[in-house]
């Protein structure tokens, strides 16, 4: 995609601080990190959201995140890490190229507060939602 900033980074038109690369994935440091070592992991083939990801690419992305998380534990002073991914603007996605944030974490850093949890009104309501989702997926 011509106007996609991540596609331009992948093509080398815009510089990045590369962390990892293979034939399917590019990983580079976020310009506005939540913590030092915050890395973005993107598929090289453009997909706006997870729904557009080419089959077979997921394993390469997951393995890249695994390697980056391991490295963050070793060199970024991390005691843990988050892998976060948003789909569509309503979820917080700002760049419409599928990407994961791999963010190094330390106990008590409060970088990402837990989300507000809710409850189902009943087990029947919960089971009805599971049934609808399952039927749509085609289990």
User: 94-114 in b/e burial notation, b at 16+ Cβ within 10 A?
Assistant: eebbbbbbbbbbeeeeeeeee
Specify whether 97 is catalytic.
Answer: no
Phi and psi at 25, nearest 5°, equal -135, 145
Active-site residue, selected from the candidate residues 24, 38, 97, 99: 99
CB burial class (10 A; 0-12, 13-18, 19+) of residue 23?
Answer: exposed
CB contact at 8 A, 135 and 105: no
The Cα 137–Cα 139 span in angstroms is 6
Q: Which residues form the catalytic set?
A: 99
């Amino acid at each position: 995609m011509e106007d996609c900033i991540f596609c331009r980074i992948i093509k080398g038109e815009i510089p990045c601080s590369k962390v990892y690369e293979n034939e399917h994935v590019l990983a580079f440091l976020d310009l506005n990190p939540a913590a030092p070592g915050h890395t973005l992991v993107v598929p090289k083939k453009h997909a706006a959201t997870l729904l557009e990801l080419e089959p077979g690419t997921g394993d390469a992305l997951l393995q890249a995140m695994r390697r980056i998380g391991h490295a963050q534990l070793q060199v970024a002073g991390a005691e843990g890490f988050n892998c976060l991914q948003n789909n569509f603007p309503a979820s917080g996605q700002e760049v419409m190229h599928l990407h994961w944030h791999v963010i190094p974490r330390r106990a008590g850093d409060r970088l990402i507060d837990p989300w507000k949890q809710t409850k189902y009104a009943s087990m029947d309501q919960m089971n009805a939602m599971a049934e609808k989702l399952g039927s749509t997926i085609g289990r």
